[in-house]
Amino acid sequence: METKVNLNKEVFAKLQYEQVIDTSFSQLVPPTSSIPEEQLPTVEEFFQDYDALFFQIPKAGENSHETLIVSSTDYIGYQPLNDEIQALTEEITSLRTQLLESRQQLADLANGGSN
């Protein structure tokens, strides 16, 4: 099945180009805060406020401790329990295998035979 596609090429003169196309790197610059920097708390002030508000912040939901944990761990890529969870999962698998083998041995002994 053949489909015909028409392509149009628009060409600009050098003087027109910069008037039509935005050549600045405005999309790569982080957005400026709407709050003037002198009004933002310092890191020390932030943690003082956090300590003061600690028990007023909900455990889960919007603007909660959970929100802080998720956004912070995403930001720094922190995954402390993955190695420990993997090791424990492997240990559980090993123990299940041992249990299965022990049950099989008991069943063999109960049936009067052995392998």
For the stretch 50-70, what's the b/e string if a residue is b when 16 or more beta carbons lie within 10 angstroms of its beta carbon?
eeeeeeeeeeeeeeeeeeeee
Q: What is the tens place of the pLDDT at every residue in 13-30?
A: 777 777 777 777 666 666
Reported as a single tens digit per residue, the pLDDT across 84-110 is: 888 999 999 999 999 999 999 999 999
Stated pTM of the model: 0.40
Structural domain boundaries in the chain: 40-78, 80-110
